[in-house]
Chains A and B, each alone.
Chain A
Amino acid sequence: MDDRSFVAAQDFLLASKTYWTKRIYPELKKTYETAAGAAPAPPETPAEVAALLEGEVLYRYFSWLERHLQRFKYAGRYGLVPYHDERRAALSAELRDTDAELAPGLEMPNYYQRVDIHQHPGGVWSDELDGYVYERGARSTTPLMGAAHGDLHHRFTDLVAARGGAKDILDMGCGFGKSTHPFCTSFPTARVEAIDLSGPCVSLGAHDAQTKGSGNVRFRQMNAYETDYDDGSFDLVTSTMVIHELPPREIERMFTEAARVLAPGGRMAHLDFYTIDGPFARFIHYGHGRRNNEPFMQPLAEMDLHASLTEKGFTNIEVIPFKEAEGVGESGNDAWRFPWTVIMAEKMP
């Protein structure tokens, strides 16, 4: 397919998703509020919201579009996967000389193989071009933000940097480095280690770091809950949009590993989806997880993170809502958005 047709089709899909975000979702919310107002008692659980909404025609289209716009984006005739597949030779040549540290023998966890997250055929790890596919797809993950999508990462690193400095940073589940590069620039004198299960993603991360001249970062293929770093070797451990991709048992192991590699007094800062306000938002979020092939969004939302972190010896635990852009979540802006949350904690000195 030619580049122009690919971009036109992807722009059309993004415009459709934006309409879904700004018009269909608020309309669905109004439909829900009307139905809830007429119910004998206000719904208190996602199941009670489901009982009110699942028969609504608008909810059916809302769900269909959430599922299938993403399918078209990745696997349609103008999808990310066929587009990049047609450019395989040139793209794989770009990755040939990166200094990413790959682990060809690393066994991919069962949960990671069982579901193709984000409806990315084959997942983000099984094809050498998956980093490129993921990178292009991530540009339109949150249509509300449009071209400013990268800003959310900087808003997060600004927040982390405002709480203090760091000399040694570990970015767990770094993907292709979109979360990592803002840490490299916000903490220019720090050593940054970026790890991810996906070889194709860390290869692209390393390639981009070389292109950008980020000398303070190393990309390595590694499991976040089973790293090879020495005890106490970091003063900041971070992750962005990673925790919700893990089953609860692996989340616990990731926090345990973070506690191990942090120096006494070191801190964690994670950006993820956790603080959900009310049964309607919870119903929508759980449905998103199901429709977008992210089966652990719901289990994460139902975990008691504060208790989990306390049990692992963390202190000064903060779980706070996060605004990914100016004006989101404010009165008069009813557009759909993720329940962004920052989770911060410190290891006992």
Chain B
Amino acid sequence: MQLSDTLLEDRPEQTFFEDPALDRAFGVVMALATEVYVLRDRARALERKLEAAGVIEPGGLDAEPGDEERAADAGDREAFVEGLMISLLGKQQAKGAS
């Protein structure tokens, strides 16, 4: 079953905001929030398994990371932020009609 199979073409969804764009955008936000929670749950489960197997100490991932580790992740962090924020600039990335 694909999610798109459940869409009813002749039934527009109810709207609650003055601009229906917000109704749809908030749906995307909540879908992402669900995904985030699923990932949090999985990461926590993984940590517990690793602790139980003696691979990491209890709370071993909770300590503040050292400068070296943070620096190693800086590039990844910047790329993540740029991917998230670039739309806010309102610029084309491939030339065409405005």
Give the size category of A's interface with B. Answer: 20 to 34
Q: Which B residues lie within 8 Å of A211 (CB)?
A: none
Which of B6, B14, B38 interacts with A78 by CB under 8 Å? Answer: B38
For the complex formed, measure the closest distance between the CB of B41 and the CB atoms of chain A, giving whole angstroms: 4
Measured between alpha carbons, how far is A8 from B33 in the docked complex, in Å?
12
Measured between alpha carbons, how far is A289 from B6 in the docked complex, in Å?
21
Pairs of residues from A and B, 10 with the lowest C-beta to C-beta distance, nearest first: A8-B41, A12-B37, A85-B1, A63-B16, A64-B16, A60-B16, A8-B38, A5-B38, A75-B6, A121-B6
Question: Which chain A residues have a beta carbon within 8 Å of chain B's beta carbons?
Answer: 4-5, 8-9, 11-13, 16, 60-61, 63-64, 67-69, 72, 75-78, 81-82, 85-86, 121, 290-291
B contacts with A: majority SS: helix
Closest to A60 in B: B16
Question: Assuming A8-B42, A63-B16, A64-B17, is B3 touching A72 (CB within 8 A)?
Answer: no
**Is A64 a contact partner of B1 (Cβ separation < 8 A)?**
no
Q: Which B residues lie within 8 Å of A82 (CB)?
A: 1, 3
Measured between alpha carbons, how far is A60 from B16 in the docked complex, in Å?
5
Name B1-49 residues within 8 Å CB distance of A.
Answer: 1, 3, 6, 14, 16-17, 23, 26-27, 30-31, 33-35, 37-38, 40-42, 45
For the complex formed, measure the closest distance between the CB of B22 and the CB atoms of chain A, giving whole angstroms: 8
Closest to A88 in B: B1
**Is B42 a contact partner of A4 (Cβ separation < 8 A)?**
yes
For the complex formed, measure the closest distance between the CB of B76 and the CB atoms of chain A, giving whole angstroms: 24
Closest to B41 in A: A8
**Is A67 a contact partner of B31 (Cβ separation < 8 A)?**
no
**Is B1 a contact partner of A9 (Cβ separation < 8 A)?**
no
**Is B3 a contact partner of A9 (Cβ separation < 8 A)?**
no
Measured between alpha carbons, how far is A84 from B3 in the docked complex, in Å?
13
Q: Which A residues lie within 8 Å of B14 (CB)?
A: 67, 290-291
11 pairs across A/B with beta carbons < 8 Å? A5-B38, A5-B42, A9-B38, A12-B38, A64-B23, A76-B3, A77-B34, A78-B34, A81-B1, A81-B6, A291-B14
Q: Which A residues lie within 8 Å of B41 (CB)?
A: 4-5, 8, 11
Best-surrounded residue of A61, A64, A77, A121 (most CB of chain B within 10 A):
A64
